[in-house]
Structure 1
Amino acid sequence: MSYKALYRKWRPEFFRDVVGQEVIVRTLKAQIASGHIAHAYLFTGPRGTGKTSLAKIFARAINCPQPEDGDACGKCELCAALRGEAMDIIEMDAASNNGVDEIRALRENIVFPPAVGRYKVYIIDEVHMLSQGAFNALLKTLEEPPEHAVFILATTEVHKLPATILSRCQRFNFKSISVADISEYLKKVLQASGASFEAQAVDLIARSAEGGMRDALSIADMCLSYCGNQVSYEDVVNILGTADRDFMFKCAEALINSDAKSALDACAELIDSGGDIGVFMRDIMSHLTDVLTAKLAGREALAALPDDIAARLCEQGQRADADRLMRAVELLSQAESELKQHSRPRVILSSVMARICTPRLEDDAQALRDRIATLEHELDSLKANGIAARAQPEPAGEEDKRRAKKAERSVNQASPKAEKGSQGQALADVKKNAGGGSEELWEALLARMRKNAMPVYMTLKSAEGGRRQDNAYIIMFAPEHESKMKFISGKAEIISKELEALTGEALAVRTEQTAPVLEKEEQDELIANIIDIFGEENIHFKDSEE
C-alpha cells in the first residue's frame, strides 16, 4: 500500500475529531439535531484550519438517517457509502473550474435528486477564484436551489466575493488554531506513529504552522522522515531553516541596546550558516512581539510558551522600551514585504537592522519618540544616581554632532528643574527642543515632505523658510514665487498633518509674502524721502556690520 501523508491520514471524519473550531462545530451539530439545514453556507478563514474537512463531515452528517448528537453514526450503509467517492457529495475546485460553462453544467445537474441520501451537497473550494460571469450564473441557483440541494462555499479570501453571494449564505469564520491545541494534537499523532519527541520540538513545529493544522502535520511528516523515530529540537530547527531561541535572544538584545555592530555580526553569522533571511525576519518579529507582550501584559499573556522561555522574555522586556520594540516590528514588517521584490535580501536585512539600532538618523515621528524615550531613560538613571542629567548621544558625522549638541543643551537646561523635583517639566523641555525650533522644524518638515509628498517638497524648496506663530505655522515666499505660494496654500491640510506628526500639535498652515528686496536706486530714493519727511538731524545711519 502506498504511503499516505499525515495530514491525509489524520483528516477528521467526525465532528468530535475537529480541533480548535468548537463554536462552529456546536452550531452545525445543533442545526442537524433540530433539522434546520440552510441551503447555503460560507466557510472562511486561514488555510489549514479545517474548512473543507468540516464541509465533508457536515455533508455526511445531514445525510445520515440516524445521527448521534448531531454527528453521523458512521455505522450504517449510507455512512459507509458516503465516506468514499459519493455521488451525493460533489466537490469542485473553483481554482481550476472557474468559468461560466462549469457553473452552467452544475445548474443543469442540480435538478436531479440525490442517489442515496436526503441531500445533494455541492462543496465549492476556493470559491473566490470564480470569474464574475461564473458568480452571476451561480447567483440565481444559490438564491432558489431545489430542496434537496445544499451549497458549501469555502474560501481564504472572503473579501473577493460579491456582496450578492455573501448575503445568500450563512457565514462561519474559522479561526487560527492555537499553539496549545496544535501541540496537543501533534503529540497524539507522533505517539500513534511510534515516535518519541522533545516537547520543545513539538512547540516549535506548532508555532511555525502559524495556526494551520495541515501545515503542522506536514512539518511533522518531514521531521519523521529526517529524524526517524526521535524528533529533537535541533533537528526541527535545521528542517525549518530557522534560528534557535538563544540566537533570537542575542539579536533582540543587540536591537534593544542599539548595538549596531552586534546586530550586523548576527546577520553575517546567520547568512554564513545558510539560514533563510525571510524565515529569520518572521522569527525575530515574532520574538520582539513576545518581548513586547511580556512588557505590556506580563507573564500571564505568555502561557502558551515554556516557563524558561517566558521568564527570559519577561526579563528582556523589563530592559526594553515599548516604543523601540514597536518601531522595530514595524520596520521589520516593511522590510519583509520589500524582501519578495529585491534581488539582494542580505542588503535589506543589514539595512533594517542598522535602522533599528540608529533612531537618531531617522526623522519620522516614531524614531523621535524612540529617541525621547532613550533620553527619559537616561534622565531617570542619572537622577537615581544623584548625578546631573547629561545626554551624550553617539554622533556619527557632522549632522549627528549638531543633533547631539542640541540634545545636550536641552538636557542641561532641564537638569536644574529635575534636581528640584520637577523632572516632568524637564522632559517636556527636551521634547520641545527636539522639534520646536524654527530652523529644526523647517528642516524636519522638508524631510517628511520629501518622503511623503514629493511635489509639495519641490515647491517648499523655493520658500524662504517657515516659522511658528501661536497656533499657526507661517511659510514665507518671495514675491516672484506667488504661484508657488498659492500651490502651497492649497496643500495646507497635507502640511498640517506632517507638522502634527512632528510636534504633536494641530497647527494651521498659512503662507506669507516677504518684503521685496530693493535695488540700489530704489533704496536711494527711499532714503531721500525719509530725510525729507523727518529731517536729516533726526536720522541715524548705521552700518550693517554693527
Structure 2
Amino acid sequence: MAYLALYRQHRPKKLDEIVEQSHIVRALSNAITEQRLSHSYLFAGPRGTGKTSVARILARSLNCEQGPTLQPCGVCASCKSIDQGTSMDVREIDAASNRNIDDIRNIRQNMQYMAESRYKIYIIDEVHMLNDYAFNAFLKTLEEPPPNTLFILATTEAHKIPLTILSRCQRYDFRRISTKGIMSQIQKISKQESLEISAEALKTISGRAEGCMRDALSLLDQCLSFAGNHIELDDVLAVLGSVDQKTLICSIEAMIYGDIPKLLQLLDLIEAEGKDLVQFLRDLLLQLKEWLTEKPPIDTLLPEQIVELLQVLSTTEWEMKQSTQPRLSLELAMFRAGDQYRAGDRLSVLESKIRALEALSKISNSTEDPSPVDQGNPKQAVMSVEVKSPEVRKPEQVEQVVPISKESDPAKEEEKSAKPLRNDEIRMETWDQILMQVFREKISAHAILKQGKVYRRNGNTLEVLFQNDFHKKIMEKEDNKQAIERALKHHLGEVTRFVPLLPRDIQVLSSAEPLQTQEDWLIQAAIQWAGKDKVEIASPQPKENQNQKG
C-alpha cells in the first residue's frame, strides 16, 4: 500500500477526536442526537483546524448503517466509501476549480436522483471562490433543498461570501489550535508511530505551526524523512532553515550594542549556510516576543526596550520582499533598532552631565564659609552659607536648598520646609505620581510627557527636557499644559508653570548671564584686575556728608 502522509493517516474519525473545537463538537453532537439537523452548514476558520474533517465525520455519522450516531462504525459499506472518497451520496467539491454556474447546475441535476444512503450530502470546500453567477444560481437550491439533502460549506475567508448565502446557513467558527494542544496531539501520534522526539524539537514544531494541526503534522513528517525515528532540535532547525538560539542572541547583542562588524559577520555566516534571511528575521521577532514574558539572557534589555525593537523590525519583512537588495533592508533595520535602543542610554548620560554642570555652576557662583561642626553629632549638616558682600553677589538662576542641622533655629526649619523640592526628589518620589494623574486626565499628553526628563525646578517653574521638536510642540499646546500644571499643583503643593525644553535651549540658558548694574560691573572688573584681597568695597556716603566735605 502506498505511504500516506501523517495528517491523512491520523485524520479524526469521530467527533470526540477533534482537537480543541469543543463548542462545535457539542453543538453538532446535540443536533445528531436530537435530530435537529439544519439543511446547510458553514464551517469557517483558519486552515488546518478541522473543517473538512468535521464535515466528513458528520457525513459518516448520518449515513452509517447504525446511525444516525455519534460513534460511526467505520466498517459498513457507507463508512468505507466515505473514507475512500467513492461514495455516491457524499460528494466533495473543490470550489476553487469548480466555481462557475455550470458546476452549480450539475449539482442541481444530481440532487434529483434518489440517495442510496440516508442523506445526500454535498461538501463544498473553499466556497468563497465561487463567482457571482454561481452564488446567485446557488441561492434557491440552498434555501429549499430536496428532503434528506445536506450542504456543508467550508471556507477560510467567510467575509468574501455574500450575505444572502450566510443568512441561509448555520455558521460555526473554528479556532486556531493552541501550541499546547498541538504538542499533546504530536506526542500521542509519536507513541503510535514509535517515534522519539525531544522536548525542544516538539516545542519548535508546535510553535512554528501557528495553530494549524495539518502544518504541524506535515512538518513532523518532513523531519521523519530527514532524521528518521529520532528527532532533535538541530534536525527541526535544519528542515525549517532557521538558526539556533545562540546565533539569535549574538545577533541581538551585536544589534543593541552597535557592534556592526560582528553583526555583518553573523549575517554572512547565515547566508553561507543557505539560510533564508526572511526566516531569520521571523525567528528574531519571535525570540524578542518570547522575551516579553520570559526573562531575557541580556540583563540590560528591558520590556519597553524590547517593544521598541519589535516596532522597528516588524515592518522589515515587507520591505525585504519589495526590495531588490533584501539583505541591505535587513541591515539598515537592525542598525535603526540598535540606535533607538542606545538613544535611551545617551539621554541618561546627557542628564547626568547636566546635573554635574548645575552643581559646578552653583559652587562657582556662591561664596561659602564653613560653619563650626559638632564632631560628636555626625548627622549634623556640613556647612552653612554666609555672604560677605551682598552688593557683589549675582542673582542665582536656580533656587538652592541648603541642608540645615537638626539643632538649627526653628524659623529656619519652617523656611526650609516652604522651599520647593529638589530635582532628584521630584524625579524619584513625585514624578511618577504626576505622570499617573496626567494619564488619568489626558492619555495623549501622558504618552509624550513620559518621554521627557526633569531638567530642573527654577522657582515656580518646572523645566522638562525633550529630544525633538515634535514632542516640545505637543507639550506647548494649552490643553496639555493645563493638565500637567494641575497635576504639578496637586503634588507639589503650589502653582508651578510647566516649560518644555530641547537640548539646544539648555545651551542657551547655561550661556546666558544675568543682567548687572553699572556698579556691579565695576566691582567685578576691579576684582578681576587687582584681585579679591586688594579690593575694598565701601558703602555709599550720604549726600550731606559729601556736601560738608566739599
What TM-score results when the alignment is normalised by the length of structure 2? Answer: 0.64
1:417 to 405, 415, 423: 423
Q: Deviations over 1:296-334 (max 9, x none)?
A: xxxxxxxxxxxxxxxxx3244874333332232233331
Distance 1:209 1:374 in 2: 41
The answer to whether the 8 Å contact 2:61/2:69 transfers is no
Q: Secondary structure at the match of 1:91?
A: strand
Distance 1:284 1:165 in 2: 43
1:192 to 1:144, Cα distance in 2 relative to 1, 3 A: same
Residue equivalent to 1:528: none
Q: Deviations over 1:399-454 (max 9, x none)?
A: xxxxxxxxxxxxxxxx9501565562795546954267xxx349999xxxxxxxxx
Residue equivalent to 2:301: 320
Distance 2:43 2:50 in 1: 9
Residue 255 of structure 1, CA deviation: 4.5
The amino acid of 2:202's aligned partner reads V
2:323 to 333, 338, 342: 342
The answer to whether the 8 Å contact 2:320/2:327 transfers is no
| Worse overlay, 246-255 or 147-156 | 246-255
Residue equivalent to 1:152: 152
Residue 189 of structure 1, CA deviation: 2.2
1:265 to 1:389, Cα distance in 2 relative to 1, 3 A: farther
Distance 1:251 1:267 in 2: 8
Distance 1:389 1:333 in 2: 39
1:289 to 1:444, Cα distance in 2 relative to 1, 3 A: farther
The answer to whether the 8 Å contact 2:62/2:69 transfers is no
Alignment of 1:36-435 (within 5 A): 36-67=36-67, 70-84=70-84, 85-115=86-116, 117-255=117-255, 257=257, 262-292=262-292, 294=293, 313-316=294-297, 319-359=300-340, 371=343, 375=347, 388=355, 417-418=423-424, 421=428, 424=431, 427-429=452-454, 432-434=464-466
Q: Deviations over 1:187-215 (max 9, x none)?
A: 22233323322221122111111111111
Q: How many residues align?
A: 393
Alignment of 1:455-466 (within 5 A): none
Residue 179 of structure 1, CA deviation: 1.4
Distance 2:424 2:242 in 1: 47
The amino acid of 2:466's aligned partner reads A
What TM-score results when the alignment is normalised by the length of structure 1? Answer: 0.64
Residue equivalent to 1:462: none
Alignment of 1:5 onto 2:5: yes
Q: Deviations over 1:126-167 (max 9, x none)?
A: 111111111111112112212211111111111211122122
The answer to whether the 8 Å contact 1:40/1:152 transfers is yes
Residue 2 of structure 1, CA deviation: 1.8
Q: Deviations over 1:75-109 (max 9, x none)?
A: 44433343331111110001111111101211222
Structure 2 unpaired stretches of 5+: 358-420, 435-449, 456-462, 482-499, 501-550
Distance 2:325 2:102 in 1: 45
The answer to whether the 8 Å contact 2:72/2:79 transfers is yes
The answer to whether the 8 Å contact 1:256/1:325 transfers is no
Distance 2:296 2:28 in 1: 45
Residue equivalent to 1:298: none
Structure 1 unpaired stretches of 5+: 295-312, 361-369, 391-414, 446-466, 474-502, 504-546
The answer to whether the 8 Å contact 1:359/1:371 transfers is yes
Distance 1:145 1:212 in 2: 33
Alignment of 1:25 onto 2:25: yes
The answer to whether the 8 Å contact 1:29/1:71 transfers is no
1:289 to 1:377, Cα distance in 2 relative to 1, 3 A: farther
The answer to whether the 8 Å contact 1:237/1:243 transfers is yes
Distance 1:350 1:433 in 2: 31
Distance 1:444 1:261 in 2: 39
The amino acid of 1:230's aligned partner reads H
The answer to whether the 8 Å contact 2:61/2:68 transfers is no
Residue 3 of structure 1, CA deviation: 1.7
Residue 226 of structure 1, CA deviation: 1.2
Structure with the higher fraction of residues in helix conformation: 1
Distance 2:215 2:471 in 1: 52
1:257 to 1:42, Cα distance in 2 relative to 1, 3 A: farther
Distance 1:16 1:280 in 2: 39
Distance 1:150 1:9 in 2: 27
Residue 251 of structure 1, CA deviation: 2.9
1:374 to 1:110, Cα distance in 2 relative to 1, 3 A: farther
Q: Deviations over 1:507-529 (max 9, x none)?
A: xxxxxxxxxxxxxxxxxxxxxxx
Distance 1:444 1:429 in 2: 17
The answer to whether the 8 Å contact 1:121/1:150 transfers is yes
For the aligned residue pairs, the C-alpha RMSD in angstroms reads 3.5
Q: Secondary structure at the match of 2:180?
A: helix
Residue 13 of structure 1, CA deviation: 1.7
Distance 1:444 1:321 in 2: 28
1:105 to 1:321, Cα distance in 2 relative to 1, 3 A: same
Distance 2:284 2:35 in 1: 50
1:51 to 1:434, Cα distance in 2 relative to 1, 3 A: same
Q: Deviations over 1:456-511 (max 9, x none)?
A: xxxxxxxxxxx9674599xxxxxxxxxxxxxxxxxxxxxxxxxxxxx9xxxxxxxx
Distance 2:67 2:290 in 1: 45
Higher Cα Rg: structure 1 or 2? 2
| Worse overlay, 185-194 or 161-170 | 185-194
1:378 to 1:442, Cα distance in 2 relative to 1, 3 A: closer
The amino acid of 2:90's aligned partner reads I
Q: Secondary structure at the match of 1:340?
A: helix
1:233 to 1:269, Cα distance in 2 relative to 1, 3 A: same
Q: Secondary structure at the match of 1:95?
A: coil
The amino acid of 2:340's aligned partner reads P
Q: Secondary structure at the match of 1:152?
A: strand
Residue 340 of structure 1, CA deviation: 2.6
The amino acid of 1:434's aligned partner reads F
